Amino acid sequence: MNPANNPEGKPVSFFGKYIFPPLYGAVVYFTIRLLLDTVTGMKFWRRHWQLQITEFGATVLYSYMFVWLFRRLLRWFDRRWPVNDISTRRIMRELGYLFLLNLIFQNLFLTTMAAVTDDGLQWYDLADINTIPLLYSLICYGIVRSQTFLQAYIAERVQLQKITTDHLETELKFLKAQYHPHFLFNALNTIYFQMDEDIAAAKKSVEKFSELLRYQLYDQQQTVPVCQEIHYLQNFVQLQQTRSSEKLQLSLQLDKMLQEQKVYPLLFLPLVENAFKYVGGSYRLCIKAALQENNIVFQVINDTPTDLAALPARLTDKKAKGIGLENLQRRLALLYPGRHQLLTQKKDNTFIAELTLQYQ
């Protein structure tokens, strides 16, 4: 069994192997003697020193053997059950075996010793001998097992957190990667049509496209200053304008206070991309970004085709599936749990999308 999954299987320390057993035996011995002296009126320290040494030596020998078997018992249970299995059934079985172990060793060593010393074996001898060591062994069991189970619980939680984190990171990478083919298709389609009409403009579009692609490929840190994200969007807008209708009435309203506030990258892009894809009607498109206290508010408003039947389902149906808005909602849930709000609404012939982020 892996030692990480079996705390009881790790090597016993010097203290635990050589110092603790005689200490345990001494505590058991002196507690029993004090209780017996309380009942009988004897004073054990006035007894003959040879008798004291004999009794104490037998108790220490008992404690070494008992502690060794106690550890073996716990390891045996750890091999049969996972350490993180803290069930009532397991604990009751361990306590039952511990009781039997105490019953056998207490009577084998301590009862025999009491029968041949002083005035022989009395009822109160049996009561103390079968009660005191059991109580101390239960205390030891509670301390050892609470530490073992706590370590197992912490290790399990850490492993679970690692698995969850790895899963979320994998999902985020997948979601982020989905933007790349979508973006590549749109940009290459734009350049394709420019090649037939204006080579110089196509070259500029390629330069702009390479700058955008560089940002997606190399700027993959956890968060970026919002000014970098805005600069990226400005380049994206310029590239999109080259393929948009001449009717397009574009308005950019970007708050100059948005500078070094940290945000996760490529969260605004789906809203802008969606607006360019579905703008129609009067072809008005407004992109706003503002700083409001601890929040960044990003809003995109675009006219939609007057023919409602021409509207794609994703603009009106929240359950519709697609790369754009659904992908964005999932990324926001992973990156900004409880710290974001995404609102979309269709009002007359206008579609409004507003994203509020609590920046770091």
Going from N- to C-terminal start, the domains of the chain cover 3-163, 198-358
Confidence of residue 82 (pLDDT cuts 50, 70, 90): confident
pTM of the full structure: 0.51
206: pLDDT strictly greater than 70: yes
For residue 298, the SS3 value is strand
Contact partners, residue 29, CB within 8 Å, separation at least 6: 55, 56, 59
Mean predicted confidence (pLDDT) in 239-257: 83
Q: What string of H, E and C letters represents the secondary structure of 148-179? A: HHHHHHHHHHHHHHHHHHHHHHHHHHHHHHHH
Q: Tell me the mean pLDDT in the region 239-250.
A: 79
Between vectors from CA 177 to CA 175 and to CA 183, what angle results, nearest 5°?
110
317, pLDDT greater than 90: no
Separation in Å, CA 17 to CA 62, 142, 146, 336 = 14, 19, 20, 51
Residue 292: helix, strand or coil by DSSP?
A: strand
Give me the pLDDT at residue 154, please.
84
pLDDT at 144 over 80: yes
Query: With contact defined as beta carbons under 8 Å apart, do 148 and 83 qualify?
Result: yes
Q: Ranked by mean pLDDT, which of 47-56, 61-70, 201-210 comes out on top?
A: 61-70
Average pLDDT along the chain:
78
- Tell whether the model's pLDDT for residue 121 goes beyond 80: no
Burial of 299 (0-12, 13-18, 19+ CB in 10 A): middle
Q: What is the pLDDT of residue 179?
A: 55
In this prediction, residue 168 has a pLDDT band, given cuts at 50, 70 and 90, of low
Q: What are phi and psi of 184, to 5 degrees?
A: -60, -45
Strand order in the sheet with 340-347: 249-254, 284-292, 295-303, 350-358, 340-347
Smallest Cα–Cα separation from 71: which of 31, 116, 16?
Answer: 16
pLDDT band per the 50, 70, 90 thresholds, residue 65: confident
What is residue 171's predicted lDDT score, i.e. its pLDDT?
56
Predicted pLDDT of residue 1: 38
Q: What is the pLDDT of residue 354?
A: 93
**C-alpha–C-alpha distance, residues 245 and 255, integer Å:** 27
Average of per-residue pLDDT across 107-112: 78
Asked if the model's pLDDT at residue 174 lies above 60, the reply is no
* Architecture of the domain delimited by 198-358: 2-Layer Sandwich (3.30)
What is the predicted pLDDT for the residue at 173? 58
